[in-house]
Amino acid sequence: MALRKQYIIFPKFQLVLIAVNSIVYLTILLFIGLQSYLAFQSLKHMGVAAQLDSTHPYYRFLDLQASTVYSHLTLAFLVGFLVSTLVTIYYSHKLAGPLVRLNKFFSDIRSLDVRTQDPNSVRPLNFRKGDYLADLAPVINEALSHLSEGRFFQNETQTSGKKE
């Protein structure tokens, strides 16, 4: 199975999803970073309230803990952001693929000259295995089959005739 080389196939859609994902992720990062900073500041204020000397080991310990927490948070957020972005690209590709195929499929139909070309010459719509919207292809193919055979208009005429 060959790997796809292009996962960004519908940039307007996929890049917006990535941007929204990034904004949410950065918001979470800022919130957790701010809360961590405020927690360590509160602990420093407790040391001041306890009248500890500024050279007391308590403050060095807090600085070491803050440094450790911030470095671990940074690493966790970088890895999480990378994984989240890759997952967003992967799943948006599974949705964007069918949208691109639908666009091409209907563009081909629109450009068809029914006076000189057989409407059945348009290949049936299909999606890749695992794509989203897979249930849509057979419905569209069947509807177009009804239209090309004139059954849609016959059914409409029959339905209209029954209403009178």
Per-residue pLDDT tens for 64-107?
999 999 999 999 999 999 999 999 999 999 999 999 999 999 88
- Cα(119)–Cα(22) distance, rounded to whole angstroms? 45
| 9 closest CA partner among 78, 98, 77, 82 | 98
**10 with 96: CB under 8 angstroms?**
yes
- Cα(40)–Cα(111) distance, rounded to whole angstroms? 66
**137 with 127: CB under 8 angstroms?**
yes
| 44 closest CA partner among 61, 31, 27, 32 | 61
- In this prediction, residue 113 has a pLDDT band, given cuts at 50, 70 and 90, of confident
- Residue 22 has a pLDDT of 94
Structure tokens at 80: 């999480």
- In this prediction, residue 115 has a pLDDT band, given cuts at 50, 70 and 90, of low
16-72 pLDDT tens trace: 999 999 999 999 999 999 999 999 999 999 999 999 999 999 999 999 999 999 999
- Residue 143 has a pLDDT of 87
Confidence check: pLDDT of 162 > 60: no
Region 135-141: mean pLDDT is 91
Break the chain into its structural domains and give their ranges.
11-118
Confidence check: pLDDT of 12 > 80: yes
- In this prediction, residue 164 has a pLDDT band, given cuts at 50, 70 and 90, of very low
**62 with 47: CB under 8 angstroms?**
yes
- In this prediction, residue 114 has a pLDDT band, given cuts at 50, 70 and 90, of low
- Cα(96)–Cα(110) distance, rounded to whole angstroms? 21
